[in-house]
Amino acid sequence: MKKAFLRKIVTAVIAATTMTSIAPLGVSAATTNSMFNNYYNVFSNGGLQTGWVNNNGQWSYFDNSGAMQTGVIKVNGETYCLNQNGIMEIGKVLVNNRIYTTSQSGQVIGTKAPSSDKVFDSGNNVVQDNNKTSTVKPSNTTSTTGGTTGTVTTTKPATGSTTGTVTTKPTTGNTNSTGTTTTGSTTNSGSTTNTSTSTSSLDVQGLPKLPANYSVTVQAAAEQKILELMNAKRTEAGLKPLTLDNTLLQVARYKSNDMIQNNFFDHTNPDGTKWTNWLQAVGYRYTTTGENIAYNTYDAVELFTQWWNSPGHRANMMNSSYTKVGVGVLYGNGKYMGTQEFSN
């Protein structure tokens, strides 16, 4: 039995959340590298998700670096089969064209078991890496797909802890409606001087037009302040400051606006795309990229503090591989929504 111990939190967690019941603040970070297709780190509430993660009844396993595993793994002496989407297969499983059987808890049962690609101890540490990835799919060849929505629980089977549950609110479609966007300066106390402008200023050529369900305010002064604070930290650590990139700035503002207008908080958008898909759509070239997102209800510049106080988000801001950044902070629907897009 998978047992979880709930702990009280005040921040939003990874996956999506409905804005109607959103918490006072939240942060989430993700990184990806085009050289490593299976590498995708997810941070929530200042902690890296590791071990077993249950997404709407589907289990995945993340090592201590946050990388989702695929293929055949052995954890605590038990063998599990994870398909190409990282989902644990249950029942009859085809591994490298040979059929094996797993229990309802995912462990391989019977006298035969596939050889493991990696072996992990109880602390999610790799103790043996056989430098291979097995092909895993249901024996009927119908693959299980990821990207589900619903309740997301972060646990480790039998001994884990839970960081919280959230409910997604998938919304799709674009509208041609128009709204009001304002730009202005924001102080640390959260006061803003606004100047009205068209929402079309947030559109990005090559990306879907977003609905205008809420009026939003571009927090230009806060964006600049966050960039200054981040580069000050990098300089103190002997790192080169990040250069503001106009494309990343546009995508960052677009992401923040998307989360406000479509009522969600996640690196994965309601249509299943991520910021990496957007960068590709606009023809942006990179080899490594990352994204931080956060929101609160009281101060735009404090978004930086939320990111800095989280090891995962701080790692993105202090990543020596990154040379460019875009910081997009918007106010809308009662929240300051912030996005940082990084690249080299």
Homologous superfamily of the 180-343 domain (CATH): CAP (3.40.33.10)
Q: The dihedral of CA 69, 71, 75, 80: what is its sign?
A: positive
- CATH classification code of 67-147: 2.10.270
CA dist list (Å): 54 to 42, 104, 149, 246, 300 = 14, 14, 12, 37, 33
pLDDT in tens, 215-232: 999 999 999 999 999 999
Query: Hey, which residues does 92 pair with through a beta bridge?
Result: 101
Confidence of residue 194 (pLDDT cuts 50, 70, 90): very low
Rounded to whole angstroms, how far apart are CA atoms 344 and 342? 7
Q: What is the pLDDT of residue 84?
A: 85
Q: How far is CA 294 from the centre of its chain?
A: 11
3-class DSSP state of 55? strand
Tell me if domain 67-147 and domain 180-343 are identical in fold. Answer: no
CB-CB contact of 213 with 180 (8 Å): no
What is the residue extent of each domain of the chain?
Answer: 67-147, 180-343
First CA to last CA distance, the chain: 44
Alpha helices in the chain (DSSP H): 220-236, 246-261, 275-281, 302-308, 311-317
pTM for this one?
Answer: 0.53
Give mean pLDDT, residues 129-147: 67
- Tokens linked to 286: 């990179």
pLDDT tens for residues 245-279?
A: 999 999 999 999 999 999 999 998 888 889 999 99
